[in-house]
Chains A and B, each alone.
Chain A
Amino acid sequence: MELIVQGIVKAFELLLSFDPEVLGITWLSLKISGTATFISLFFGVSIGTAVALTTFPGKRLVISLINTGMGLPPVVVGLFVTIMIWRSGPLGFLEILYTPYAMIIAQAIIATPIVMGISLASIQNLPPNLRLQILALGASRMQMVWVLIKESKLPLLAAVMAGFGGVISEVGASIMVGGNIKGYSRVLTTATVMETGKGNFDIAIALGIILLILAFLVNLLLTHVQQRQRLR
């Protein structure tokens, strides 16, 4: 119990003293996971919408695969990405193992099925006649898709939150492909693992609290956007 109190005190000490290392780690976490979420948003929403709006043989199988992907174990993604990009791997010429790039790639792979699955479900959940109605009003196909995406804004923002929440709190892939290099690829989760290993439990708890505050602030912003649309 005493340790938890110490951790909370330490968290505010680190935050209020603007400790440059902790600020750097926090900022890097936000950058990497934010970029990864944006990438996943692009692929997730577009593919999710496409699958939802088309019919083709084996559609149920594809949907099952996407839904399974929502639970993709980060450490397996980390292993797969590592093998692809290390020097002897097929993408070794890129030389991006142990860089923030590699972390963005791995996190985007983790977040994409989450965003895709939620987008798919939310578009499918719209009343089926809506499509016909929009087309009947003379909208082009692209305009129709855009209106549908707008109609499911609420669940889509939930998809962003789920995707971001999934990657900012993820550690297995980040430590494997990023390497937890000081001042370069060390993020809040990997630093927490390391400080726990070092026995600095107070700092580890402090980093955990900073991670929660960060996730809270991002979600607060997104919820604000989401709910404002709702109230109109």
Chain B
Amino acid sequence: MKMFKNSKTVAVLIAAFLLFALGASDVLAANAEPKQKNIILATTTSTQDSGLLDVLIPIFEKETGYFVKTIAVGSGQAMAMGQKGEADVLLVHSPDAEKKFMEAGNGVNRRLVMHNDFIIVGPSADPAKIKGLKSSAEALKTIAKAGALFSSRGDNSGTHAKEKALWKQTGITPAGQKWYQETGLGMGQTLNVASEKKGYTLADRGTYLALKKNLGLDVLVEGDAALLNIYHVIEINGTKWPKVNAAGGRAFADFMVSKKTQGIIKTFGVDKFGSPLFFPDAGKKVEDLGK
């Protein structure tokens, strides 16, 4: 019996199948590179959303022949991946959690890469009157006292960790308060939520600058030493997890602190935002930052 009545139908189906078979073979080819060539970089959304990694990674790949798989998540999740040996190298900004991570023997060789700063942003009407306050803790206290809406990341990211540390300084427990909302979203989306609801939030300057054009938020508090946002690169301990690409992780970490890369970081964003988004710090000590 005839399988198909219409030869055109057969032609269409075969064409469609070939199209996908062809596509699948492309996918196969893309994966055929030697496996130790792959490096999994777990990092924060801010380094990707700012566009910095889009500039740096192609240079690194060209120089070394490695293929970098950038997984942009919060710092908390990035370290959770490192803790299980599911990443080879981390680029994160949550110093207190990083220290614990190192003490547990999960990483080797934690090196300072760069910093920028956090800012407290809010509606230009500034209902809690925090504009111009020098201390970030003081500003949060004022917001709490006024009961003005505050949007928190609530996602264990580096920014969220910083925010929790600042609340701790104030002695206030914001969780569960009516004026305190946790979005559980990335920085960009949290800024949008704060803007729509006319609330305050803590943001990294890079993401704020990148999104500023669509936001109804002003920078209200900045320049406090407690608001430094410090990025470290951490190689994952290859002796603890044999599957980790330790050589690749080391190569990437070396690249991040190299003179050439630090030079690129220094000028990144100047053409687009008029000021750099990150300040290179390789070889410096954390205590000397922001002076």
> When the two chains form their complex, are residues B30 and A184 in contact, meaning their CB atoms are under 8 A apart?
yes
Q: Determine the chain A residues whose CB is within 8 A of the CB of B187 once the complex forms.
A: 197
Q: What's the nearest-Cβ distance from chain B to residue A189, in Å?
A: 16
Tell whether, in the assembled complex, residue B19 and residue A199 are in contact, meaning their CB atoms are under 8 Å apart: no
Q: Determine, out of B20-28, B102-110, B114-122, B250-258, the stretch whose residues face the partner at the interface.
A: B20-28
**Contacting residues, chain A, for B218 (C-beta < 8 A):** none
Residue of A nearest to B8 (CB): A228
- Whether the Cβ atoms of B23 and A101 lie closer than 8 Å is no
**Bound-state Cα–Cα, A34 to B22, Å:** 11
Separation in Å of the B40 CB from the closest CB of chain A? Answer: 7
Q: Within 8 Å of chain A (Cβ to Cβ): is B16? A: yes
A98 touches B17 (CB 8 A): no
Q: Given A31-B23, A95-B35, A198-B188, are A100 and B30 neighbors across the interface (CB < 8 Å)?
A: yes
B186 touches A197 (CB 8 A): yes
Q: Is residue B224 within 8 Å, beta carbon to beta carbon, of the partner chain?
A: no
Give B31's nearest chain A residue, CB to CB: A99
Q: Beta-carbon contacts of A134-154 to B below 8 Å, as 1s and 0s?
A: 000000000100100000000
What A residues does B54 contact at CB under 8 A? 182
Choice from B9, B84, B214, B244 contacting A229 with Cβ under 8 Å? B9
Q: Which single member of A98, A197, A198 contacts B40 (CB below 8 Å)?
A: A98
Q: Are B70 and A197 in contact, CB atoms less than 8 angstroms apart?
A: no
Check if A32 sits within 8 Å of B27, measured CB to CB: yes
Q: Are A199 and B214 in contact (CB under 8 A)?
A: yes
Let me know if A34 and B23 touch, CB within 8 A.
yes
What is B's interface to A at a CB cutoff of 8 Å? Answer: 1, 3, 5-6, 9, 12-13, 16-17, 19-20, 23-24, 26-27, 30-31, 35, 38, 40, 45, 48-49, 54, 57, 67, 69-72, 84-86, 186-189, 191-192, 210-211, 213-215, 241, 243-244
Q: List 18 A-B contacts (CB under 8 A).
A: A27-B23, A32-B27, A35-B27, A88-B85, A88-B86, A95-B38, A100-B30, A100-B31, A101-B27, A179-B71, A181-B69, A184-B30, A194-B48, A194-B49, A197-B187, A198-B210, A199-B192, A199-B213
